[in-house]
Amino acid sequence: MRYRISHTTKYNYADQVSQGYNIAYLIPRDCRGQRVIYSNISIDPIPATRIRREDYYGNVVCHFSVEKPHRSLEVTVESEIEVAPSESRLLSSGITCGEVLAALNSGQSQDDIEASEFCFDSPMLSGSQEIGDYARDLFLPENAFVEAVTALNSRIYKDFQYDPSFSTVATPLADVMKNRRGVCQDFAHLAIAVLRSLGYASRYVSGYLETLPPPGQVKLQGADASHAWFSVFVPGDDWLDFDPTNDIIPADQHVTTGWGRDYSDVTPLKGIVFGGGSNQKLSVAVDVERVS
């Protein structure tokens, strides 16, 4: 499957900004089952500096600064991506929950050691007894690990209501659990926190999901959005993705931008500005178009 993706973020400031320094995680990465054919980022006003590099996790990150007075900032990334996932052998993996914990704790392979950093707390997520209790019954030592994670994915989908009006990027996970509502970022964070609380390695994945309009209706331009899901490490094999917002295992409709410990590692666009006033207006337009 091949997709053409356009993602435009625009800030309008109440007052003049004298300088701005930003970091963008908006450029999709090459990874298993995904190839970036091309990707381009355009910035208005034209930045004084712009550096494109790979971060610690291999994600593509762009640092840029606008060092002249401006009242707005517009960042657009246009990409063409080929997604060709193969049927994962991990789905039939018979490794048990107990065996996964033993492998992560022993660090017998380099992959196990590298994955173990995703077992610990991160800037936005802290494990706890209460969070672990949400799905402790699914992860008995003798249970098949992939089946247990699949059950967790389904449990979150059934127990929580998708409500974009409820949360922001700063909403604590405790509030999400208490109110049983949130958005894709919240559901991914919940799954990760549960898994880490139980001793497993899990990471946050940022990207896009192809959405289709209702039958007979035309798809609206700019109506798509960025998406988030989570991934778990299966020792001896690889990482396996899950999407609790839709209760599915990502395949050819998901496009990965990057991954990290939580949202803070792959925030699409963040930075600081000098000036701008107390109010700013943010608009985001995303198009995910299937081209072949």
Total-model pTM: 0.94
Confidence of residue 180 (pLDDT cuts 50, 70, 90): very high
Per residue in 61-108, pLDDT (tens digit) is 999 999 999 999 999 999 999 998 766 666 777 899 999 999 999 988
Question: Are 242 and 147 contacting, i.e. CB atoms less than 8 angstroms apart?
Answer: no
User: Across residues 114-139, what is the average pLDDT?
Assistant: 97
pLDDT of the residue at 215:
81
Give the 3-state secondary structure of residue 277.
Answer: coil
Per residue in 187-216, pLDDT (tens digit) is 999 999 999 999 999 999 999 999 887 787
pLDDT of the residue at 223:
61
CATH number of 89-264: 3.10.620.30
- Edge-to-edge, what's the strand order for the sheet holding 226-233? 239-242, 226-233, 202-209, 254-260
Per residue in 129-176, pLDDT (tens digit) is 999 999 999 999 999 999 999 999 999 999 999 999 999 988 999 999
Please state, for a pLDDT cut of 90, what percent of the chain lies above it: 86
Question: Are 83 and 3 contacting, i.e. CB atoms less than 8 angstroms apart?
Answer: yes
Look at residue 6 and tell me whether its pLDDT is greater than 80.
yes
Strands 161-162 and 181-182: parallel
pLDDT of the residue at 260:
98
Q: Is-cis flag, bond preceding 45, omega within 30?
A: yes
Confidence of residue 53 (pLDDT cuts 50, 70, 90): very high
The first and second tokens of residue 24, run together, are 């963008």
pLDDT of the residue at 108:
82
pLDDT of the residue at 292:
87
Cα–Cα distances (Å) from 270 to 26, 79, 237, in that order, read 11, 20, 34
Look at residue 222 and tell me whether its pLDDT is greater than 60.
no
Longest dimension (CA), the chain: 62
Residue type for position 186: D
Give the 3-state secondary structure of residue 110.
Answer: helix
Give, for 65, the enclosing helix (H) or strand (E). strand 60-66
- Identify the CATH assignment for 2-84+267-290 out of 3.30.830.10, 3.40.50.10320, 2.130.10.30, 2.60.40.2250: 2.60.40.2250
Per residue in 234-281, pLDDT (tens digit) is 998 789 999 999 999 998 999 999 999 999 999 999 999 999 998 899
pLDDT of the residue at 237:
78
Q: Can you tell me the distance from the alpha carbon of 87 to that of 90, in angstroms, rounded to the nearest whole number?
A: 9
In the chain, domain spans:
2-84+267-290, 89-264
25-39, 149-163, 211-225 — which is least confidently predicted?
211-225
Confidence of residue 220 (pLDDT cuts 50, 70, 90): low
> What is the average pLDDT value for the chain, to the nearest integer?
94
The first and second tokens of residue 253, run together, are 């409709």
Give, for 152, the enclosing helix (H) or strand (E). helix 145-159
